[in-house]
Structure 1
Amino acid sequence: MEELLAKHRKEQKDLQGRITQKKKSATKKTRKGVNDECEQMQRDLTERHKTEIAELNGESTEPVEALEDLSLEDGAPADEPNEDKTTAITDSNTPAPSESEPAGRTKKPNRAKARLARRAAEQVAMSEAAAEEAKNQTNYRGNEQGVMDAAFKKLGLKEVEVTPDGHCLYSAIAKQLDDSGLGLRPDPSRIVLQPTSQTRIDTVTSPQHDGYRAVRAVTADYIVEHKDDFEAFMEEPLDVYTRKIKLTAEWGGQLELQAIARAYGVIINVVQSDGRQEKIECGEMDSFDEKEKAKRVLWLAYYRHTYGLGEHYNALVKQS
């Protein structure tokens, strides 16, 4: 009984939440209809709870009908109960017809039970449909991770997780620039800080904190300085576009990768979610020796389905 009562309390709480939400969203025109619907929902729940408690206690949930049938037939002696009436009282499942009812009339169905049965059948059907739909859906997340893991193994790469916060592209680049010894090449004039302090600038240019800010500043400035190469591909004015790069968590994409590769003189290899590799060239590698060239190759993993916020970049490093 305690378990049933706990279930009833939870259902009552859930219903109150639904009712509150419905009333909040009601307008002047719909308020009356919403109130009526909420009252009906409360009555239905209360009726169902009473029925379930009665069934648990072994009590009858059938409505009492035809009380007039309990009276004695006209002319029958008071000390001699009518046989048909006695049968109607002792056998509730087979009531005898009265003078006011036609013979063979059946008992009125229990509406509460019928309603509960109908809802239970609908819920079962919905659950089965959902299970069937889920079974037939493609597991994009699992498939993507499997393809990426196979590509990492083939290329001898290890993945380094980056926080999915909108700065992931720049954070992944900042880490690799610092690890390779290339540095972030911070310039205090590139980084907008209020108030400006050398301590804060040092923090901003550290990949262990938020070095992505330095990469964002370098990227935005490079695009401004070479606007003829980038402006035609923008859907916003140059100043608006580059301000978002510098000062917001706007996601980076193809244009930003091109600017980063050229600004830092690096090659960026991006492992795609389907296993393909995209190579972003900087166009200045001929002046470096083989050791320096190897140091200037960065790797990124690009996901489309694995992370809840959507597109995401992680850093990749060579297996030691």
Structure 2
Amino acid sequence: MDELQAKHRKEAKDLQSRITQKKKQATKKTRKGVNDECEQLERELKERQAKELAALDGDGNSGEEGSEEDAQAAVRQSEHDAQPSDGAVPSLEGPSMSDDTTEGIPKGGLYREPHQSRKPNRAKARLARRAAEQEATIKEAKEEVKNIPSQRDIERKKMLAAFKERGLQEKEIRADGHCLYSAVSDQMAQLNLDMKPKIETKVVEDGERENEVPTYRKVRRAAADWIQQHPDDFAPFLEEPLEEYVRKVRETGEWGGQLELLALAKTFGLDINVLQAQGGVEKIEGGGDAEKALWLAYYRHGFGLGEHYNSLRKAP
């Protein structure tokens, strides 16, 4: 029983940690579904643990305690015996009773068995006690989780310290899947850098007007064309065909990462510095002027969709 209780406490704590992570990552659109899922997980855990406790009690009991099912069957049989079908009052004839020994009882009368109080159902009491202990364990686990700083808060605190140390301030970019390309285009606009790629590329498709194409879309297309024209530099790192990967970079809202940053550094001839939460800076060289390097902030936990890039600039 001690081992089972320890196992149940660990399962409750693990589940609470999972629920906390799920709720942190939920968006406005997915919050209701996540809450329903979490409630279902808690309900399933309680039911399974109650069954395990009941099974252990059933295996370990004998004699007058018995299992919960045996106790309930005994109660039902007792009630049945106490109420005969013909409606007669249950009684027993007295053993060899005579007028001398049955004073106050008519000769040939009936001897009624004294009322016996029903014993408490010990199996049910144990189950109730175990359920209360489980509730207390889950509540305790929830309180512990509340006191643990979230990864998001820790990351944000470290980033703010890194900004202050390097004299930088942040411009938040919308977390929509295009954040890397939007941050790069924002940086290039701030530094008045030419957005013309080194290679021939169709940043403006047939039928589009130059001023109607969002700058992040032009940056996406430039990265896609560079990857497509330099397959030997990128294909070994892909888990899918190069053409399909290029299509996603060019046409969808697929997140960008290390490979896209390298492609952009090369095609625009720029150096890109990526500041991370631990204070380190990842430098991606593109052969540009170090004084006009792009600065991006990289978050792993700070935004609902996952990894995210913001644009940085010198603090006033």
TM range (shorter): 0.5 to 0.7
Q: In 2, Cα distance between the equivalents of 1:231 and 1:259?
A: 13
Q: In 1, Cα distance between the equivalents of 2:114 and 2:250?
A: 86
Question: Which segments of 5 or more consecutive residues in structure 1 lack a partner in the other structure?
Answer: 1-16, 22-64, 72-97, 205-209, 286-292
Q: 1:164 aligns with which of 133, 154, 175?
A: 175
Q: In 2, Cα distance between the equivalents of 1:112 and 1:269?
A: 65
> Larger relative contact order (C-alpha < 8 A, sep ≥ 6)?
2
Paired position in structure 2 for 1:234: 238
SS at match of 1:190: coil
Q: Which amino acid aligns with 1:190?
A: V
The alignment covers a number of residue pairs equal to: 214
Structure 1 residues 128 and 146, CA, compared in 2 at 3 Å: closer, same or farther?
Answer: same
Q: 2:304 aligns with which of 295, 308, 320?
A: 308
Paired position in structure 1 for 2:26: none
Q: In 1, Cα distance between the equivalents of 2:232 and 2:126?
A: 73
Paired position in structure 1 for 2:202: 189
Contact map agreement 1:203 1:211 (CA 8 A) in 2: no
Q: 1:203 aligns with which of 206, 209, 212?
A: 212
SS at match of 2:170: strand
What is the CA deviation profile of residues 220-278 of structure 1, one whole-angstrom value per residue up to 9, with x for unaligned ones? 11122222322222222221111111001111111111111111121111001211111
Paired position in structure 1 for 2:295: 299
Paired position in structure 2 for 1:216: 220
RMSD of the alignment, in Å?
Answer: 3.6
Worse overlay, 219-228 or 298-307: 219-228
Contact map agreement 2:295 2:311 (CA 8 A) in 1: yes
Question: Which segments of 5 or more consecutive residues in structure 2 lack a partner in the other structure?
Answer: 1-35, 41-78, 84-88, 90-110
What is the CA deviation profile of residues 153-208 of structure 1, one whole-angstrom value per residue up to 9, with x for unaligned ones? 01110011111111110000011112221143388833446xx232xx3122xxxx
Paired position in structure 1 for 2:159: 148
Contact map agreement 2:201 2:222 (CA 8 A) in 1: no
SS at match of 1:314: strand
Structure 1 residues 211 and 116, CA, compared in 2 at 3 Å: closer, same or farther?
Answer: farther
Q: Which amino acid aligns with 1:250?
A: E
Structure 1 residues 235 and 167, CA, compared in 2 at 3 Å: closer, same or farther?
Answer: same
Q: In 1, Cα distance between the equivalents of 2:297 and 2:272?
A: 11
Q: Which amino acid aligns with 1:280?
A: I
Q: In 2, Cα distance between the equivalents of 1:131 and 1:163?
A: 34
Q: In 1, Cα distance between the equivalents of 2:157 and 2:239?
A: 35
